[in-house]
Amino acid sequence: MNINYTSDQPCAETFKALYDTTGWGPISRGTAFYQDSLNGSWCSRSAYFGGQLVGFVRVISDGRLHAFVTEMIVHPEFQHQGIGTALLSSILDDCRDAGISDVQLFSAKGKAIFYEKLGFSSRPEDSPGMQFNAAT
């Protein structure tokens, strides 16, 4: 499978279409909502197959101390093919290059093992999310 990876952000319509595959929010949200979200990104990576956005990850950050992975999405028909690993690994490289050692995210239910394979660890039961351990 020929996947094209890029650091260019997708257009809001394309991002919305992929986001809508997750079930995380109301499909009734307009593209302006997603454009505003994209505008707040520190960095992102996109994966395309035949011109279709099939994967996307983005980070919000102060660029120095902290980063938060806000979306890590792979279209359901393209999961388990290494796309998510490639996207997240690339964005973590950007964080490391900026000297950011505190990278956090919220893991969707049942997805923690995926993030653990990439160096994240679960936080205590009374704390939500996961945190990347850049020192390890």
pLDDT digits (tens, 9 = 90+) for 60-95: 999 999 999 999 999 999 999 999 999 999 999 999
115 is catalytic: yes
pLDDT at 108: 82
Of the pLDDT bands very low, low, confident and very high (cuts 50, 70, 90), residue 107 is confident
Round to the nearest angstrom and report the end-to-end CA distance of the chain: 32
- What's the whole-number mean pLDDT along residues 93-110? 90
Indicate the average pLDDT of the chain: 91
pTM: 0.87
Exactly one of 19, 34, 48, 115 is catalytic; which is it?
Answer: 115
Q: Tell me the two tokens of residue 2.
A: 């020929």
**What pLDDT does 125 receive?**
73
Tokens of 127: 């704390």
Which of 24, 19, 93 minimizes the C-alpha distance to 59? 93
Match domain 4-8+41-117 to its CATH number in 1.10.10.10, 2.60.220.30, 3.40.50.1820, 3.40.630.30: 3.40.630.30
For the chain, what percent of residues have pLDDT higher than 90? 76
Q: What is the pLDDT of residue 135?
A: 56
Residue 128's pLDDT band (cuts 50, 70, 90): low
pLDDT tens-digit map of 3-17: 999 999 999 999 999
Q: Cα 120 vs. chain centroid, distance in angstroms?
A: 14
